[in-house]
Each structure stands twice: as structure tokens, then as C-alpha cells.
Amino acid sequence: MKLFTVERSPVQLFLFGLVGLLLMLGAVDVMWGHWVSTPPDTYNESITSKGRNQRRADYVWGAFLLAGGAGLFGYAVTSLVRRTPVVVVRDDGMVLAVAAPGEDPIFVPWSAISAVSSAAEPDPDGGADRDVLAIDFIDPAGLPTEPWGASWQGNRLVIDATAWENPLGEVVIHAGIAMDRAHHFVPPTAPAMPVLGDGTVEGDEPEEDDEPEDSGDGEEPDEEESPDE
């Protein structure tokens, strides 16, 4: 049963898409338009040798801007349309969207998790600290070695929580309550495995009712012999 669902913020995704669109427009301006950027050097309406070098550099920078903007814009539009949860807290485990794009999320039972916490890590690009969800695994079997939007630190999976719609503290609280309950009352379950489109876990099979057992062995009871008169 689902207890808590975390999705990416639509406002943040819209801003990502807007930035990607601006990058693509900038690429068009640098490569061909030159409405804002400096055009190649010319003399008598002819491009000079210096202008040819400038044009080659413009094409290189424009290609980088176009690729980055298209990727960011495509990611934002896809995330807004599909709205796939990044984390789902269930009574029997967690569903994590750390597989490559297009692949199914991964279900991890509570028996494979030892702790769930939040932290703030420094931005490698020198910006503000970013919020991350840290999950310590007893057994990380079944999880991708190169997770999408996350990284491994030993047996700890660090998931980037940037642009999440729900506060990170709520995720930790719900996960802690469900994990504590499962560790005390729920028997160990299977290792991590993909979650299918209908919400079931791969490998689950419906339980069959046991056939009723016969109360007797099928033999008729012996009749008691009456004493001879």
C-alpha cells in the first residue's frame, strides 16, 4: 500500500524548460541570426579570414548550446507530461526512480534498507548546497550501478532532491515510520526488483488456495459385533 508519493515540482520543471528554450534560441542567434551576438568580421560585405575563424567558433559554441538546450527542454516536457513519481514510500518498501530514462522504477523492500536520512551537499559547480536523500542499504542487490540522478557512496545511495514537490523532511519521516514498522512486524522480503506498469512487483504471483484436506482415510468404520446370545 502506498503511504507517501514524491513528484518533481511542476514550477521547477517549467523553469528548466524555459531555460532550455532560451539556450536553443541563443544557439540560433550565435550560429545564424546574430541579432544579439557579434557577427563575423566582414570587409565590403565579404567575410574575411578572421570572420571565417569567428564563424567556425560560433558553430562550435552554437552546437553546444543547441544540444544542451534541447536536452533540458526535452527533459522538462517529458517530466511534465508523464509525471512519474521519483520516490514512493510503501508499507513494504520504497519505489525509487533511479533507473535510466524509459526503464521501470526499482522496488526495494525494507529488509534491504538500514536507514533513510536527508543531508545538504555542496554543489560541485560552486553554487548553493543541494538537498539530497541518503538511503543506506544492507544489500544493494538489484539496484543499478550507475543510477540516474543519484550516486553511490559505498552502500549509501545519494539521490538529488532538487526540484522535488514535497519537503525532504516529510519523505524521511514517512520512510522512517514505515521502515520501523516493517522491521518489527513484517518478515524479510525479496531483494530489489523492477516495478511493473500496473504497480505490481516483478516476480509476484497470486497465491493459490490450498485444497481442503480429507478428514479421514476413506475407509468405512468397522461395525461392532454384538455378543452371541
202-221 residue pLDDT tens? 555 555 555 555 545 555 55
Edge-first strand order for the sheet with 87-90 is 2-6, 87-90, 93-96, 106-109, 193-194
Mean pLDDT of the chain: 80
Residue 209: CA count within 13 A, CB half-sphere: 3
Asked if residue 83 lies in contact with residue 77, where contact means CB atoms within 8 angstroms, the answer is no
pTM attached to this predicted model: 0.60
**pLDDT per residue as tens digits for the range 123-165:** 766 667 788 999 999 988 888 898 988 999 999 999 988 878 8
Question: Predicted confidence band at 19 (pLDDT cuts at 50, 70, 90)?
Answer: very high
pLDDT higher than threshold 50 for residue 77? yes
